[in-house]
Amino acid sequence: MEEKDQITVIVEDLCEYALDREDVKWVADATPDSEDFNLNKLEYELHLLKIVSVGWSISYYLQDDASRDAVIEPFWKNIHDVSGDLSHATSLLIGADINYFEILRSRLDSYVKAMSMEKGDNPATVIGPCFAEFCGNSQNLIASMAGSKIFMAAVSGVKNYLNAAGYKI
């Protein structure tokens, strides 16, 4: 397979993985009820975090690879296109304009900022409380653990996929 075709398959697979909701539903269903947050909000935020985590992981793992831009740019373009469809459908449903991609961009900026402020060995320890804050309470351990779990699963999934695709990570 030509390199361009291989990259197209990689981008499609990573987009599909980012948008897949099965692990998000599993984590949300396994999360106990709490008065500090709404479970629907938790599931919504988990899905945003998964998409952002996959995109961040691609950039992180391919930061020194020549094909980085050839993977990350179409990944975010595909996410942008899907976000446009979601925004339109949601806007029709609730009667208000929603820009799903801008929400994703804002979340990515917030998570990257949080990670840059805390120079630790494990970004999941920073992502968890930041995620919990988006759920309504940065001190909520249940929400923090749910966010950390999705982040670690997404990062690990991207790493394993890229390794299997022949990248040296």
Dump pLDDT digits (tens) for 29-73. 998 877 777 888 999 999 999 999 999 999 999 999 999 999 999
Q: Is residue 87 part of a domain?
A: yes
**pLDDT (average), residues 6-27:** 96
Cα gap 50→32, rounded to integer Å: 20
Q: Is residue 169 part of a domain?
A: no
Per the model's pLDDT, the better-predicted residue between 96 and 59 turns out to be 59
Range of 81's domain?
3-164
Rounded to 10 deg, the angle between the 141-164 and 124-134 helix axes is 130
Q: How many domains does the chain have?
A: 1
Residue 11, pLDDT above cutoff 70 = yes
Which of 43, 61, 52, 128 lies closest to 83 in space, CA to CA?
Answer: 52
Span between the terminal Cα atoms of the chain, in Å: 21
Residue 89, pLDDT above cutoff 80 = no
Over the chain, what is the mean pLDDT? 91
Dump pLDDT digits (tens) for 144-153. 999 999 999 9
Q: Is residue 27 part of a domain?
A: yes
- Of the chain, the percentage scoring pLDDT greater than 90 comes to 72
The confidence band for 86, taking pLDDT boundaries of 50, 70 and 90, is confident
Which of 113, 39, 58 lies closest to 129 in space, CA to CA?
Answer: 113
Q: Is residue 45 part of a domain?
A: yes
